[in-house]
Amino acid sequence: MSKNSQQQAQSAKTSAKFFKKKSQSLEFYDASAMFITQFILQYMLQLIMMILGYWIIADSMGSDIKDIDAISEKFTLFTASTGGVLLTVFLNESTMLLSPLAYWKVKSFKVFKEMGLKRKVNAGQIAMTLPIAGALLAGFMPIASLFVYLVEMTGYNYTGANINVENFPQLLLYLLFVAALPAVCEEILHRGIVARAGSRLSYAKGLILSSVIFAFMHGSPIQLVHQFFVGVVCVLVYYMSGSLWISALTHFFNNAITLVCGYIIFKIKGTSDLAIPWWGMILLCIAGLAALTLSLWGMYKLCYAKRKKEDAEYGLDSSVQSDGAIRLGKKKPIEVFNEKMAYLFISPEQAIKEKQLKEEIEKEISEYSEEKKEVFYSMRKEDGVELKKKNSRGIIFALVAVLAIWLFNTVVGYF
């Protein structure tokens, strides 16, 4: 290669790196690293809490290691108490903020940027989160209960703490720590980071990956089914609104309705258990799924109308001209879904920035020689192949980590 060709190649490489830096975005391998870090932190804190708990209990009892059964029993009673539940939830949820914060500092990557924390929402979108959450519980609770029943028939024994709300002050504490705190922290990690990064692959893949990871992250077959559908619904409202607060509010109402209903049932019956006949479960499921479908469609229409209005204010041409109907024979439903979500999820400000960046790149490239263009496009292609490999590894590592812990906890439940 001539000296001039080498200079052009080096110039093209420098330009490619410059544009890559300017267009830096959250990829799935970033999300995978943060999720796995959070997973490790969570179990480390749980281990530290258990060691300290055992030590404190043993010291208070004046016991030695031979009394491990008695110590273990007291520690289990503590984790099932109000204080134990609140402490456990606080430690677990704190890791969902610590992990992205650490990644931000170590990688100098603004992981919270374009997460949807600043996206404007309207009263209609906020109001729709309550019926969506209520319908979600009604529609999928019977399905989740059936799954739990089948799992328990195999001999599985759930050892986690069941939350019983017995008085109003306790309800308020649980609404703060068990409903609100997880709604915010889990949405930041699983929707604001995992689902957002997944959308770079495609919105359909982002929805599935985020929901599967979210479900298995809970570490128990008892929670698997319901948490998967909670994840699906939260991803949908997140993609539709582009706002993390809408998905967090939906998540909060899902948790809060469960707590409030449990409190009301306890005050009436003296127990949180409520037996519903099989035909009642079927009716509840059908009514819930119908209401959920209508509520999500209502949310979509509200978000679509809001985005159209924003386009007019910013002087943008709408990326989607149809009203959301799926026209079979022209495009596959998944392709239509990806297009609709892409249009709604990306804010007008972000769309303008991406358009400007694209124009800058095109203008710069237009001034290149043919040889320099060839090197530049070759570099971009290589970067694309490498990015695909890194994202694939990220998906594998995240799924292996979460499935390994889930399988371990499940196997332990049979002993």
Question: Over the stretch 53-94, which tens digit does the pLDDT of each residue have?
Answer: 988 888 887 755 567 888 888 888 888 888 999 999 999 999
Helix/strand/coil percentages in the chain, nearest 5 = 80, 0, 20
pTM of the model: 0.91
Question: Over the stretch 172-231, which tens digit does the pLDDT of each residue have?
Answer: 999 999 999 999 999 999 999 999 999 999 999 999 999 999 999 998 899 999 999 999
**288 C-beta neighbours (distance < 10 Å), count:** 20
pLDDT surpasses 60 at 410: yes
- Sequence-ordered alpha helix ranges (H) in 154-243: 168-174, 181-186, 196-198, 203-217, 221-241
Nearest to 237 by CA among 197, 192, 290, 185: 192
pLDDT surpasses 60 at 51: yes
For residues 266 and 166, the answer to whether their CB atoms sit within 8 Å is yes
Mean residue pLDDT across the chain = 87
Question: Over the stretch 261-313, which tens digit does the pLDDT of each residue have?
Answer: 999 998 888 877 778 898 999 999 999 999 999 999 999 999 999 999 999 98
- CB-based contacts of 376: which residues, under 8 Å, 6+ apart? 12, 15, 16, 365, 368
Question: Over the stretch 88-131, which tens digit does the pLDDT of each residue have?
Answer: 999 999 999 999 999 998 888 889 988 999 999 999 999 999 99
- CB-based contacts of 379: which residues, under 8 Å, 6+ apart? 12, 13, 16
CA quadruple 374, 387, 357, 109: dihedral positive or negative?
Answer: negative
Q: How far apart are CA 144 and CA 195, in angstroms?
A: 23
Nearest to 412 by CA among 220, 130, 149: 220
